Amino acid sequence: MIGQSFKMAWASVISNKMRSFLTMLGIIIGVIALVVLVSIANGATSSVTDAISSIGTNLLSVTITDDKENPLRLSEMDEVLDLDHIAMAAPTAQTSLTASKGENSESAQITGTTADYLSIEGLNLASGRWIRSSDVENNTNVVVINGDLAADVLGVRNTEQAIGQTISLNGNHYTVIGVLADDETISMSFSSYEAYVPYTSLIRIASSVSSGITSFVCASASDDEIDAAESTLKAWLLKRFDNDDDAFEITNMSTIADTLDSVVNTMTIMLGGIAAISLLVGGIGIMNIMLVSVTERTKEIGIRKAIGAGEGSIMLQFLIEALVLSLLGCLLGVAGSWLILRLIYLISDFNFPMDPGVVVVATAFSLIIGLLFGLYPARKAARKEPIDALHYAG
């Protein structure tokens, strides 16, 4: 019986292609909105969370806003290192300088730091070595540059060739000791030219950087200890800065990651919700057309009833018709979504894979909508009195 009802429903959908398509359009657009928006949101989330987790969720960064006339010394970094749960610490100072070699000159973001910085930030070297403690102690003029700087200022593609070359930072000669590997994730900094020098060395060449440390980063031994590390660090800083908790600010990377995660999740749910509303509107469109169809086919219903169709058979026929419309719409919508995501990939190179979870949700939603909005018209059809329906002059 269900097979027969399906055949009848299919015949009716096929016999009026234009109307069926327009009816399905609401569902098609709803499904496309749902699948495409959620897939894009999920794709964006995973690229952002990848970027964060590559930095590490065991990272704490501290900014000192009020040094109480007693700035933090480089030697005090060792005290930070001695704190429980803290495995690494490195001061950071950032400034923008002109990096040049011969004719080539670019404005680059220079970070002055120490040996631990590489592991704390999770950076990778393509070749050469990182700044050592001895470089910091001796104010050595050595620099680690990124790939862009090597290519555009030194003019070398092969990072090995950059090692040992001299680059000028605001007129001071620095020897290149290492080149960073290109970051695969979206870069968090605005400048594409980056260089790292020993902290002590930066003090000498940049007027804006003094021996007083205004910011530093540290890492807990493991991701689990991050909160414990934050509290011991906070206690130490409070002691250091006269119990004034406005004097400094601690940023916990795992908190940022969590916040970002929840923001993106909220956005996904919101986008999904808006798309779901358009699906609902599509469902109302199906109900509307089904009601018209029931009235139009009053005579047909009468004939079917006269030759012995029970209420159940008529109901099943119209219900399945509504389901066929909504599920076919869903299928076309999923196909459309796939095309759109492919198109985005071809045009913008952003690859947002279609989320199988959201496809399942969209299908389930379409099924429920087809059932829900098909039920009333189907019941109306089934309840028609055979004589009234038979003599209907529609």
Partner 1 sequence: MIIFRDVSKIYHIGDTEVRALDHANMHIRKGEFVSIIGPSGSGKSTLMNIVGCLDQASEGTYLLDGQAIEDYSNRELAKIRNRKIGFIFQDFNLLPKLTAYENVELPLIYQRMGKKGRQERVEEALNRVGLWDRRKHRPTELSGGQQQRVAIARALATHPSLFLADEPTGNLDQKTGRELMDIFHELHESGNTIVLITHDAHIAAEASRSIKILDGHVTDVNDASEITEVV
**Which member of 273, 310, 353, 357 binds partner 1 (CB under 8 A)?**
310
Nearest CA to 327 out of 293, 275, 365, 355 is that of 365
Which one of 46-54, 151-159, 199-207, 308-316 is the stretch in contact with partner 1 (CB under 8 A)?
Answer: 308-316
Minimum distance, C-beta of residue 332 to partner 1, in the bound complex (Å) = 24
**Which member of 42, 305, 325, 378 binds partner 1 (CB under 8 A)?**
305
Minimum distance, C-beta of residue 324 to partner 1, in the bound complex (Å) = 16
Minimum distance, C-beta of residue 381 to partner 1, in the bound complex (Å) = 13
**Which member of 12, 57, 58, 141 binds partner 1 (CB under 8 A)?**
12
Binding of partner 1 at residue 4 (CB under 8 A)? yes
**Which member of 163, 264, 313, 336 binds partner 1 (CB under 8 A)?**
313
Q: How far apart are CA 196 and CA 130, in angstroms?
A: 9
Q: How many residues bind partner 1 (CB under 8 A)?
A: 22
Q: Is the Cβ–Cβ distance between 49 and 268 less than 8 Å?
A: no
Binding of partner 1 at residue 306 (CB under 8 A)? yes
Minimum distance, C-beta of residue 358 to partner 1, in the bound complex (Å) = 37
Minimum distance, C-beta of residue 13 to partner 1, in the bound complex (Å) = 12
Report the amino acid identity of residue 260: L
Which one of 64-72, 179-187, 296-304, 370-378 is the stretch in contact with partner 1 (CB under 8 A)?
Answer: 296-304
| Nearest to partner 1 of 115, 390 (CB atom) | 390
DSSP string, 158-210: SHHHHTT-EEEETTEEEEEEEEEPPPSSPPSSS-S-EEEEEHHHHHHH-TT--
**Which member of 307, 346, 348, 356 binds partner 1 (CB under 8 A)?**
307
Which one of 86-94, 154-162, 299-307, 335-343 is the stretch in contact with partner 1 (CB under 8 A)?
Answer: 299-307
Sign of CA dihedral 142, 147, 150, 152: negative
Which one of 138-146, 184-192, 193-201, 303-311 is the stretch in contact with partner 1 (CB under 8 A)?
Answer: 303-311
CB < 8 Å & 24+ apart, contacts of 339-346: 340/32, 340/36, 341/36, 341/39, 341/40, 344/40
Q: Token pair of 67, please?
A: 């040094």
CB contact set of 346 (below 8 Å; sequence gap of 6+): none
**Which member of 139, 255, 311, 375 binds partner 1 (CB under 8 A)?**
311
Minimum distance, C-beta of residue 296 to partner 1, in the bound complex (Å) = 12
DSSP string, 111-167: EEE-TTHHHHHT--EEEE----HHHHHTT--EEEE-HHHIIIII--SSHHHHTT-EE
CB contact set of 129 (below 8 Å; sequence gap of 6+): 177, 178
Query: Within 10 Å of residue 9's Cβ, how many Cβ atoms?
Result: 20
Minimum distance, C-beta of residue 374 to partner 1, in the bound complex (Å) = 20
| Nearest to partner 1 of 29, 314 (CB atom) | 314
Binding of partner 1 at residue 292 (CB under 8 A)? no
Minimum distance, C-beta of residue 376 to partner 1, in the bound complex (Å) = 19
Minimum distance, C-beta of residue 393 to partner 1, in the bound complex (Å) = 10
Binding of partner 1 at residue 309 (CB under 8 A)? yes
**Which member of 186, 274, 343, 387 binds partner 1 (CB under 8 A)?**
387
**Which member of 132, 256, 390, 392 binds partner 1 (CB under 8 A)?**
390
Binding of partner 1 at residue 304 (CB under 8 A)? yes
Q: Token pair of 22, please?
A: 């327009």
Q: How far, rounded to the nearest angstrom, does the alpha carbon of residue 100 sit from its chain's CA centroid? A: 36
Residue 320, exposed/middle/buried by CB under 10 A (0-12, 13-18, 19+)?
Answer: buried
Binding of partner 1 at residue 386 (CB under 8 A)? yes
Helix (H) or strand (E) holding 353: none
Q: Is the Cβ–Cβ distance between 70 and 165 less than 8 Å?
A: no
Q: Binding residues for partner 1, per CB under 8 A?
A: 1, 4, 11-12, 15, 299-300, 302-313, 386-387, 390
